[in-house]
Amino acid sequence: MTETTDTAAPAKVPRRTAAPPRGGPRRPAPPRGTLLRRLTPWLFLAAPLALLITFTYVPVGNMVYYSFTDWDGVSPDRSLTGFDNYVQIATRPELFRVFFVSLYYLAASAVQIVIALYFATVLSWNLRFRNLFKGILFFPYLVNGVAIGFVFLYFFQDGGTLDSILAWFGTGSDRAWLGDPASANTSLAGVSVWRFTGLNFVLFLGAIQSIPAELYEAAELDGATRWQQFRHIIAPGIRPVVGLSVILAISGSLSVFEIPYIMTGGATGTTTFVIQTVKLAFQFNKTGLASAAAVVLLLIILLVTWIQRRITPDERVDLV
Amino acid sequence: MGKKKAFTGALLAAAILTAAGCGGQGAPSGETAKAPADPAEASGTIKVLTHRTDLVQNGTMAKYAAEFNRTHPKVKVEFEALTDYEGEVRIRMNTEDYGDVLMIPAAVAKNDYPRFFAPLGTTGELGARYRFGDKTSVDGKVYGIAIFGTANGFVYNKAVWRKAGVTEWPTTPEEFLGALKAVKAKTDAVPYYTNFKDAWPLTAWSNDIGSVTCDATATDKLAGPVSPWREGGELHTIDSLLYRIVDGGLAEKDPSTTNWEASKGMLAQGRVATMHLGSWAITQMRDAARRSGADPDDIGFMPFPAQRDGKFCAMLATDYQQAVNVHSGQKAAARAWIDWFTEKSGFSAKEGAVPALRSAPMPGELEDFVDNDVTFLERSEARTGEVNTVDNAAEIGLNKPDYRQKLVDTARGAQEGGLEEFLADLDKRWNEAAKAAGS
């Protein structure tokens, strides 16, 4: 609530000088005006708050409510069933087995962060065409996920682009990349790396560029190599952003959806938790159970984030 | 800080209250949607929700509407084509705004029909006039009229099959597999194309339930813990055939990247020999043949390879059913449109489909079936509601592609397990769900 008093304070100054010179004891400002002044920030916040509540908290509230019902998604009838759906989720191990698929994406996010970090570091130094490279690296993130799914479907086709490229290098095989669970999940995770590296890259680049240039100069004068500069200036300087990326990577891996949904529809062992939830809700009309699954996923992600924050607490970076 | 927390709490509480406050709709009237006696009297603007985006975009539907206006000058028909029809309409059905005429989404449970749709007449009266009425009949009243129906079977390229030396329709699954093997040995064509990636074509196999034993009530018999995949059961025969096709290397090499649109051309040009689909696909395949310069007459259609008393049976299954929104203010005009579209538009003949109107003739596309005395069986839908309940509770999905995708994966070794083990698991899940649902 500090904002309110901060904004209110300067407003008092002109009022005092503009007060009519009638003398007499100065009375406190009329309550209406104070109220208005107190309300001002809330008035500014009204529109965003209304949007936030309508499109974030009401749906989440709805979802939590549905998770306690046996609603089928269409019928006007729904009855409260208590914790039935949660009991089902807890007692059906096959519903959790799909989390193993997330491990592929988790491994991929590690690769993705390393690649992004490497390029962000290299491109933060003076390099020819570095803006061009920045553009090229960021570009995939701008492409619509559905389009990416379709493009990579051709890419992984039996005898498709990937097989042709491999053939140039003499390792030509025509194989069904999406044909068995291991290679399908690896391929899909690869697509996700291709797509999201750009985002990590931009975050890292921004953080690196906010490190004062004098530090590099000083380091260079002292004869530090590029690796030493990275090790002692860049890496500690961008730690909070790396931490953030790790959180995003973990929660992202747990809730992978569009790439596998579009490319394989969850066939051949590529079903992720979210795909399974969508199928429960929209194929088998178990909206209640699916909502409960969604709540569970939300809780898991909150928990992971909390643990992660506890392990690497948010610390101020002080390089100088 | 304390204040902030209290505020967030209040927000959440408000949100949950709002959420809980939703739901619950007024009871619908149950008044029958009757077409006006004099067509010229019907008036108003009606909105028709349809899944045929192609026909709305190329103006075909607008032409039908113009034709309709000749006899019903005061009715204005508007179309709303939805690409993801099922997904969008089922959500819109939580409001009152889902058009005046719509196709009944599969997600709506049969028992809920009276709350969403206006009754169109009694089962006896409409059943005599139209096929497929019992799919939507609840308590003696009918809530939907089929746009058309389809016969089920295999679309095949006659030239390729001839080249392989097979001219007679196989009469048993064994013979069918033998024919596919001959196709593989003697031609360059892929004997069978699963359309695995696009997935929905795999659901066509379920429409054969009944074709195997020539029993129109076969689907009804699935209600209850009856082990549908037991040895000798319809689904056992059907799914074993698919399994053995894939297991025997008679399907395409990489099912995970198949392409439905491309597959039409492949069948027309003889690069694929066979696909399992409804008879609605014949017109599309012939179109593809014309476009690629192949002979449309090479596209043939054969029934499921099983006979009873020396005769083939083909199940007739209904496509979408048209219904009138119970909240519609233009029920008479909406009904007039449905009647006209079903009986006078010529739509089903043009699509080469089985007409909903009993008196209309079978389409030319099914000539082979008619000539070879294939028995057409109208699938009984008397217990569809119960079957669907069990199916959803078991999370199997007879009309969803998922379990067959897994079957295909198992058959080609991408997932562990064998046929009998796989089918036994399905039986177990089905029976457990049926027992739980019955209790």
Domains of chain A in start order, with CATH, are 83-311 (1.10.3720.10)
Q: Which residues of A touch B112 (CB under 8 A)?
A: 74-77
Region B369-397: mean pLDDT is: 91
pLDDT recorded at residue B29: 62
Q: What pLDDT band is residue A169 in, cutting at 50, 70 and 90?
A: confident
List helix spans (H) across B24-152. 53-57, 60-71, 85-92, 113-116, 123-129
- List, in order, residues 6 or more apart from B190 with CB less than 8 Å away: B251, B252, B253, B266, B271, B272, B273
Q: Do A57 and B15 touch (CB under 8 A)?
A: yes
The answer to whether the beta carbons of residues B305 and B266 sit under 8 Å apart is: no
| Rounded-to-integer distance, Cα A188 and Cα A270, Å | 9
Q: Do A267 and B405 touch (CB under 8 A)?
A: yes
Given CB atoms, is B428 within the 8 Å cutoff of chain A? Answer: no
Q: Chains A, B: CB contacts under 8 A, how many?
A: 119
pLDDT recorded at residue B439: 53
Of the listed ranges A25-29, A218-222, A270-274, the least confidently predicted one is A25-29
Given CB atoms, is B138 within the 8 Å cutoff of chain A? Answer: no
For residue A138, is pLDDT > 70?
A: yes
Which residues on neighbouring strands pair with residue B376, listed in sequence order? Answer: B314
Given CB atoms, is A50 within the 8 Å cutoff of chain B? Answer: no
Question: pLDDT by residue (tens digit) across B291-333?
Answer: 999 999 999 999 999 998 899 999 999 999 999 999 999 999 9
Q: How many CB atoms lie within 10 A of CB A35?
A: 10
For residue A301, is pLDDT > 60?
A: yes
Q: What pLDDT band is residue A7 in, cutting at 50, 70 and 90?
A: very low
How much of chain A, in percent, has pLDDT values that exceed 70?
A: 87
Given CB atoms, is B107 within the 8 Å cutoff of chain A? Answer: yes
Q: Do B254 and A1 touch (CB under 8 A)?
A: no
pLDDT recorded at residue B190: 95
How many Cα atoms occupy the beta-carbon half-sphere of B28 within 13 Å? Answer: 21
In this complex, which of B108, B199, B414 lies closest to A180 when CB atoms are compared?
B414
Q: Which residues of B touch A177 (CB under 8 A)?
A: 256
In this complex, which of A153, A181, A266 lies closest to B414 when CB atoms are compared?
A181
Q: Which residues of B touch A62 (CB under 8 A)?
A: 19, 22
pLDDT recorded at residue B375: 93
How high does pLDDT run on average in chain B?
Answer: 89
Sheet of B121-122: strand order equals B121-122, B141-142, B137-138
Q: Which residues of A touch B6 (CB under 8 A)?
A: none
What pTM does this model have? 0.83
**A222 to chain B, closest Cα gap in Å:** 47
Question: pLDDT by residue (tens digit) across B198-229?
Answer: 888 999 999 999 999 999 999 999 999 999 99
Domain boundaries, chain B: 39-148+319-361
| Rounded-to-integer distance, Cα B145 and Cα B119, Å | 11
How many Cα atoms occupy the beta-carbon half-sphere of B90 within 13 Å? Answer: 19
Q: Do A76 and B196 touch (CB under 8 A)?
A: no
pLDDT recorded at residue B437: 80
| Superfamily name and number for B39-148+319-361 | Periplasmic binding protein-like II (3.40.190.10)
For residue B18, is pLDDT > 60?
A: no
For residue B2, is pLDDT > 50?
A: no
pLDDT recorded at residue B11: 46
Q: Do A179 and B256 touch (CB under 8 A)?
A: yes
pLDDT recorded at residue B39: 78
- Full DSSP string of chain A: -HHHHHHHHHHHHHHHHHS-TT-SPPPPPPHHHHHHHHHHHHHHHHHHHHHHIIIIIHHHHHHHHHTTB---SS-S---B-TTHHHHHHHH-THHHHTHHHHHHHHHHHHHHHHHHHHHHHHHHS--TTHHHHHHHHHHHHHS-HHHHHHHHHHHTSTTSHHHHHHHHTT------TTSSHHHHHHHHHHHHHHHHHHHHHHHHHHHHHTS-HHHHHHHHHTT--HHHHIIIIIHHHTHHHHHHHHHHHHHHHHT--HHHHHHTTTTTTT--HHHHHHHHHHTS--HHHHHHHHHHHHHHHHHHHHHHHHHS--------
Q: How many CB atoms lie within 10 A of CB B439?
A: 5
Q: What pLDDT band is residue B340 in, cutting at 50, 70 and 90?
A: very high
C-alpha distances in Å from residue B385, one per residue of A93, B87, B94, B123, B318: 29, 20, 20, 17, 15
pLDDT recorded at residue A2: 38
Q: How many CB atoms lie within 10 A of CB B133?
A: 28
pLDDT recorded at residue A27: 56
Six token digits for residue A28: 């406190």
pLDDT recorded at residue A253: 93
Of the listed ranges A49-53, A246-250, B184-188, B267-271, the least confidently predicted one is A246-250
Q: What pLDDT band is residue A16 in, cutting at 50, 70 and 90?
A: very low
Question: pLDDT by residue (tens digit) across B101-154?
Answer: 999 998 888 888 999 999 999 988 898 999 998 889 888 999 999 999 999 999
Beta strands in B15-56 (DSSP E): 44-50
For residue A258, is pLDDT > 50?
A: yes
Given CB atoms, is B22 within the 8 Å cutoff of chain A? Answer: yes
For residue A144, is pLDDT > 60?
A: yes
Q: What pLDDT band is residue A32 in, cutting at 50, 70 and 90?
A: low
pLDDT recorded at residue B289: 94
Given CB atoms, is B402 within the 8 Å cutoff of chain A? Answer: yes
In this complex, which of A78, A181, A284 lies closest to B395 when CB atoms are compared?
A284
Q: Do B415 and A269 touch (CB under 8 A)?
A: yes
How high does pLDDT run on average in chain A?
Answer: 85
Q: Which residues of B touch A57 (CB under 8 A)?
A: 11-12, 15
C-alpha distances in Å from residue A50, one per residue of A56, A58, A60, B69, B104: 10, 10, 15, 46, 35
In this complex, which of B20, B253, B254 lies closest to A65 when CB atoms are compared?
B20
Given CB atoms, is B24 within the 8 Å cutoff of chain A? Answer: yes
Which residue from B minimizes the CA distance to A69?
B20
**B377 to chain A, closest Cα gap in Å:** 28
Question: pLDDT by residue (tens digit) across B257-293?
Answer: 888 989 999 999 999 999 999 998 999 999 999 999 9
pLDDT recorded at residue A6: 42
Given CB atoms, is A48 within the 8 Å cutoff of chain B? Answer: no
Region A92-119: mean pLDDT is: 93
pLDDT recorded at residue A11: 41
β-pairing verdict for B299-302 and B190-192:
unpaired
pLDDT recorded at residue A4: 40
pLDDT recorded at residue B211: 93
